[in-house]
Amino acid sequence: MNVQEKRNSDFFLRPRFSIDIKENPDELLQRITTYLKSDVCKYRSRVAERHVFIDIPVKKSHFWSPQLHFEVEKVDENSSTLKGLFGPKPQVWTLFMFVHFVVATLFLGFAVFAYVKHRLGESLIFPIAILVALPLIWLLLYFLGSIGKETGKGQMKELHDLLITIIEQ
Average pLDDT over residues 29-45: 91
pTM of model > 0.95? no
> Which tens digits make up the pLDDT trace of 76-133?
988 999 999 888 888 888 998 999 999 999 999 999 999 999 999 999 999 999 999 9
Q: What is the pLDDT of residues 134-146, one digit of tens each?
A: 999 999 998 988 8
- pLDDT score at 51: 94
Rounded to whole angstroms, what are the CA distances from 126 to 45, 102, 120, 131, 135?
49, 18, 15, 9, 15
Q: Reply yes or no on whether the pLDDT at 68 is more than 90.
A: yes
Q: Other CB atoms closer than 10 Å to residue 123's CB: what's the count? A: 10
Dihedral sign of CA atoms 20, 44, 36, 74 in order: negative
What's the mean pLDDT in 15-26?
89
pLDDT of residue 131: 97
